[in-house]
Structure 1
Amino acid sequence: MPRLELVAQLKGHNDRVWQVAWSPNGNMLATCSGDKTVRIWANTSHSDTSKWDCVDVLDGAHKRTIRSVAWAPNGKELATASFDSTTGVWEYEERDKEWECVATLEGHENETKSVAWSANGSLLATCSRDKSVWIWEVEADNDFECLSVLQEHSQDVKMVAWHPHEEVLASASYDDTIKIWREDDDDWYCSDTLQGHTSTIWAIDFDKTGEQIVSASDDTTMRFWKQYKPNNPEGVATPGNAPKWKNICTISGQHERCIYSVSWSKVHGRVASASGDNHIKVFTEESSAQAVNAPTWNISASVSDAHGVSDINSVSWFPTEKHSDWLASGGDDGLVNIWRYIDDDV
């Protein structure tokens, strides 16, 4: 059976690690923490994959926990969402060889929980405990204009995620729903609400095509949702001529506590989950042409006590083919772990 093998353990944060995020080319890993910093890590040895160094520490911009960190598609900017209700935008200065906070976005009334860049880097999305999602336009000279404040969630919004190719946004909330947001004539609107989870949805991720979403919840389940476009062959109704999302698979009984994070590999298609039960699990889809509307996902690897007795807050697959079997994780123990997915049968 495949397994997850610990490659490296990165120490430096002195509070819980909330999120781990690979740079677009995978050369660096950004991690954010309750210690109000972001650390940038790099594998500094060409021959030893276990040798990692902290090459930068981003601090001084936030007064409280940094809950989320996201790379811009160009790999030269970072965004940070903080419990101080602001979002920081950082830029790497080639001349000085350091990161500088070049913008601070204000407007949310409470903790900012998540931040994400659109696929082409022209838009930034943030969400907050104030129940709102904000969409910002990236302008010249590090200016950001708020295009829309979306307020259809009835509770704390936990996460935002952009479609990998289109300007379509998904948001997950304490109100047990996922909302899909689209733009029409400069006006952003909710085109669909995904219902099925019975408790807080902590995390969402698109597959590489953008046609499916995986969600993770406090109800200890993971759900897979598929997009059905107008005039689809399955006959799924699409009110308002906008795509309709349907739950096509639910995984239950694999985690004993809240699932805090999911990552859908854009390379090999496996899904990793991280939970308050101290487990990281990897799921693989059974290949079957007949199961396109009712897929079967099986557990292919699992590691218990992945961060000791601590909750695991984030998992993220390596983004490119080079090390597509690498998985990063961050936990309440303040540690960042790099794992390798090993399948001896391949």
Structure 2
Amino acid sequence: MSSELKHWYLDATVHNDRVEEVYYISDPVQNVRRSRQTRVWKVEQLLGHGSFGQVRLEKNHEDGQVRAVKRITTTSATLSNSECEKELKALLEFSKPKFKEAAVFVEFFGWFKDGYDIFLAMEYAPLGDLHKNLVANSGKIPETEARDIAEQILLGLEIMHAESFAHRDLKPQNVLVIHGPPQWWVKLADFGLSKRLTNTTGYNTRAGTQSYMAPEILDFLNPYEPRSDYTNAVDIWSAGCIVYRLITGVVPFPRITSLIKYCEDKSLFPYDALFDSGIKSEGSKFLRQLLVAKPSARPSAIQALNHNWIFSGLSPTSSEIGYNTASHAGLQSDQPLLSSFSQTVLPPPSAPKISPPSNGTTLDPYPIRSAPIYAQDSDSQTARASSITREARSTLKGHTGSVWSVTFSPDGKLVASGSDDMTVRLWDSATGAPRGILKGHTSSVWSVAFSPDGKLVASGSNDMTVRLWNLATGAVRGTLKGHLNSVQSIAFSPDSKLVASGSNDKTVQLWDSATGAPRDTLFGHTNYVQSVAFSPDGKLVASGSDDTTVRLWDSATGAPRDMLEGHTSSVWSVAFSPDGKLVASGSCDNTIRLWDSATGAVRGTLGDYTNYIQSVAFSPDSKLVASGSDDKIVRLWDSATGATRGMLFGHTNFVQSVAFSPDGKLLASGSRDKTVRLWDEK
């Protein structure tokens, strides 16, 4: 047994209903050295079973910790000869600190044995696997969510391939869900068929699951030639099959015959389901290249991560991890660099994002949903050298989950914040002291807003409700029910009489704030509504959606007034300028657009970003636009020229929300780092 295996071995005794694990603690203060302790894990339930054995849930009732334990029945009591050795070695490799930071592999806690049975203790994912979650979401998910999952899977493959491992059994059942929609977090699991390539071994076993198995494993490329070794490109094929299914609800080649015919005739790529899904051209081309029949023509994992479809929404995760992304030498991979896979920086919005592959692969034409691309006003191209940076005046801590929304009270004395911890918190804006906690939601609070008359606080939640709270007492005044999915955004009309709410049910609802009665439902968006805002005169409602559009509605009649098209990805935030002349929109295409509210024309595009724009807000004098982004930075922009006026550093995770105080002297920001920060604007 290697020293590494010994390091992860748990001294445990297995009983039918429990596992007793021995460990030792030392405490220099108490002069305690190697005090023997026993931790008892109760077997709670069976989670799954198969030809390998079973997976069960175990719980330590002392501290409430849970774990999933995979029991593998082997044919030998000697670990080096057991069938689980490959999986154990993979778990050990990707539990190293430098890989654990990537947060894309199921956590491994150790292993123990009982006779011929080997037990692997791992992280428990209560939400189950990706297959189960797909079924719960009608079999498919929005393109933007599929892209996020694809990025995480590819990041895992980049690490595995750099360490000479191939997974060889990628499928939705082997991808665990840590957090569900719309902000998916997934991890790769089940390394039972994974294998590490060495100088003397190759990949030649027919392994995997047919619907996700690459054609070279099945000998469909050269059926009349002897079987030859294949490469880690089989994982890229499987990833393409998973993403295809996420978007369309079906696998690309459900029958063996369809895959055989595709390998013989490349024109038979299954575009129909992609057409029906409404996927953008970039996504279609991305899948077409991952699912090229010839292994050497597929991109590597790192090339796929740099494809424009992925790169436009890439989080900073991969650039912050210190693993070697260039150690593919000796991997028996022959992957030419495709010209449509960027290795440096994303081209500007006006540049073509896809060009034909340089290796001779022909991509079938796909109709592009055209949208005008606008350059910034010439004044906005001014040098960024005048930008300044500042530190936060205070950091408000108390939330135990990501902060999704922040806002100021009309008098500027309070800040409200909504969080994943299901609460709304009130803070003193002058001192940063907590002033109250509003509890009642049963899931994440995505949005908060004060009524302009200062009497109410509204909160929109993943529990599909809007709650109205009495600001003076903290009591619930009403719960507004009617949405069929998560409420992503809320806003009050200037006279405080209406509440607008945007939801993942693709609608905007207008409510009477006094009675809680629904006033109107605005239909038109074809995907999740992520943000809503009233115009300063209350006559218009703006909404931003994952369908890439901003829509303007008549608040009195509910009639559509305009549709602002130009963004090439989800619109997550909209705001009116206080003077009523502009609408700002922040998007996953990494730009902020400023629109003329009267004509719908684009007045400027702010594009100094490489990450999603989560939130936008105007200063009270309409001269500045603040924005929060996945790059953890709050930026200030000149709304007239587009020049950067400031960059505020301090958050350690995505900035989800920004808001100006009514007097314009303070700026609040909320982040996934669980904090609210207050900044002096001047």
TM-score class normalised by the smaller sequence:
0.7 to 0.9
Whole-angstrom CA distance in 2 between matches of 1:339 and 1:168? 30
Q: Name 1:58's counterpart in structure 2.
A: 438
1:317 to 660, 665, 668: 660
1:273 aligns with 2:627: yes
Residue type of the partner of 2:451?
A
1:283 aligns with 2:637: yes
Q: Name 2:580's counterpart in structure 1.
A: 210
* Higher RCO (CA 8 Å, separation ≥ 6 residues): 1
After superposition, residues 50-199 of structure 1 pair within 5 angstroms as: 51-59=431-439, 61-93=440-472, 98-139=473-514, 143-183=515-555, 187-199=557-569
Deviation at 1:5, TM superposition (A): 2.7
Whole-angstrom CA distance in 1 between matches of 2:390 and 2:627? 13
8 Å contact kept, 1:171–1:180: yes
1:249 to 591, 596, 604: 604
Q: Name 1:307's counterpart in structure 2.
A: 651
1:30 aligns with 2:416: yes
Q: Deviations over 1:83-127 (max 9, x none)?
A: 00000000134xxxx310110000101101111100001111111
8 Å contact kept, 1:4–1:341: no
Q: Name 1:297's counterpart in structure 2.
A: 642
8 Å contact kept, 2:548–2:565: yes
Residue type of the partner of 1:92?
L
Deviation at 1:155, TM superposition (A): 0.2
Whole-angstrom CA distance in 2 between matches of 1:303 and 1:70? 24
Q: Deviations over 1:287-307 (max 9, x none)?
A: xxxxxxxx5210011134x31
Whole-angstrom CA distance in 2 between matches of 1:73 and 1:251? 29
8 Å contact kept, 1:255–1:279: no
Residue type of the partner of 2:498?
L
Whole-angstrom CA distance in 2 between matches of 1:4 and 1:268? 21
Deviation at 1:38, TM superposition (A): 0.6
Residue type of the partner of 1:312?
V
Whole-angstrom CA distance in 2 between matches of 1:99 and 1:281? 33
Residue type of the partner of 1:269?
K
Cα distance change of structure 1 residues 208 and 187 upon mapping to structure 2, 3 Å threshold: closer
Q: TM-score, normalised by structure 1?
A: 0.83
Whole-angstrom CA distance in 2 between matches of 1:338 and 1:56? 18
Residue type of the partner of 1:260?
Q
Please identify which structure carries the higher strand content: 1
8 Å contact kept, 1:154–1:175: yes
Whole-angstrom CA distance in 1 between matches of 2:476 and 2:497? 18
Whole-angstrom CA distance in 2 between matches of 1:267 and 1:247? 20
8 Å contact kept, 1:3–1:341: no
Whole-angstrom CA distance in 2 between matches of 1:19 and 1:116? 12
Q: Deviations over 1:188-228 (max 9, x none)?
A: 11110000000000101111111211110000001000133
1:200 aligns with 2:543: no
Please list every run of 5 or more consecutive structure 1 residues that lacks an aligned counterpart in the other structure: 44-48, 229-243, 286-294
Whole-angstrom CA distance in 1 between matches of 2:417 and 2:538? 26
Whole-angstrom CA distance in 1 between matches of 2:632 and 2:482? 35
Q: Name 1:18's counterpart in structure 2.
A: 404
Percent of residue pairs bearing the same amino acid type? 32
Deviation at 1:255, TM superposition (A): 1.3
Whole-angstrom CA distance in 2 between matches of 1:106 and 1:20? 23
Deviation at 1:268, TM superposition (A): 5.8
Q: TM-score, normalised by structure 2?
A: 0.43
Q: Name 1:336's counterpart in structure 2.
A: 676
8 Å contact kept, 2:579–2:621: no
Whole-angstrom CA distance in 2 between matches of 1:7 and 1:117? 29
8 Å contact kept, 1:5–1:341: no
Q: Secondary structure at the match of 2:601?
A: strand
Whole-angstrom CA distance in 1 between matches of 2:525 and 2:563? 10
Residue type of the partner of 2:658?
V
Whole-angstrom CA distance in 1 between matches of 2:633 and 2:669? 11
Whole-angstrom CA distance in 2 between matches of 1:120 and 1:269? 24
Whole-angstrom CA distance in 2 between matches of 1:303 and 1:126? 30
8 Å contact kept, 2:577–2:622: no
Whole-angstrom CA distance in 1 between matches of 2:406 and 2:597? 27
Q: Secondary structure at the match of 1:307?
A: coil
Whole-angstrom CA distance in 1 between matches of 2:651 and 2:679? 12
Residue type of the partner of 2:548?
D
Q: Name 1:233's counterpart in structure 2.
A: none
Please identify which structure carries the higher helix content: 2
Q: Name 2:91's counterpart in structure 1.
A: none
Q: List structure 1 segments (4+ residues) > 2 angstroms apart after TM superposition.
A: 1-5
Q: CA RMSD in A?
A: 1.4
Residue type of the partner of 2:656?
N
Residue type of the partner of 1:307?
H
Deviation at 1:176, TM superposition (A): 0.3
